[in-house]
Amino acid sequence: MDIQFNLSTIKEAVQSLWNAGKDTKVWVFHGEMGAGKTTVIHALCEQLGVKQAISSPTFAIINEYNSPIAGAIYHMDWYRMRDEEEAIQAGIEDCLLSGNYCFVEWPEKAENILPEKVFNVYLKATDHENRLLTVNA
Ligand SMILES: Nc1ncnc2c1ncn2[C@@H]1O[C@H](COP(=O)(O)OP(=O)(O)OP(=O)(O)O)[C@@H](O)[C@H]1O
Ligand SMILES: [Mg+2]
């Protein structure tokens, strides 16, 4: 599935994304720096009714939100992680195995701790404001 969107149509885009991926708990977001991974995850969390302030997990590695629709959500950014060992130290494996939704940016950093079944989301900037979202559904 391909979805073209910009910031004025992101709500509809994340709703379609949710419908496509909701049966899988661990979602991995692929895309270059600035592709829009955090922006999409924030819009998705808002769509899922998260009331907490949604911040960038860059410095925390793991942010936990609560959604009336999805339950606990772990938003993780693995960019600063060196490898699997560091990920395990940070408690990331526990999140992945918790059965809660996990939205992961930069999954490439610790690929080997990901479960077999993940929902892959690919994001690409097509120009300044438009993005192409592709999923393996
Ligand atoms: N259609 C769009 N979707 C998402 N972001 C957009 C869009 N149009 C413009 N932007 C802008 O592009 C930037 C995307 O930044 P964002 O932090 O979401 O990227 P990222 O993929 O998480 O980067 P990083 O790898 O550094 O974490 C934001 O400044 C956002 O406002
Ligand atoms: Mg980000």
Cβ(27) – ligand 1 distance below 6 Å: no
Residue 76 in 3-state DSSP?
strand
> Can you point out the beta strands (E) in the chain?
2-5, 26-30, 62-67, 71-77, 101-105, 119-125, 131-135
Report which protein residue has its CA nearest ligand 1's atom 25.
33
pLDDT tens digits, 31-41: 999 999 999 99
Cβ(129) – ligand 1 distance below 6 Å: yes
109 within a domain of the structure (yes/no): yes
Cβ(6) – ligand 1 distance below 6 Å: yes
pLDDT tens digits, 33-63: 999 999 999 999 999 999 987 776 656 689 9
How far, in Å, CA of 87 to CA of 11, rounded? 31
135 within a domain of the structure (yes/no): no
pLDDT tens digits, 82-112: 999 999 999 999 999 999 999 999 999 999 9
Q: Residue 1 pLDDT > 90, yes or no?
A: yes
Instruction: Count up the domains in the chain and report the number.
Output: 1
- Domain housing 47: 24-127
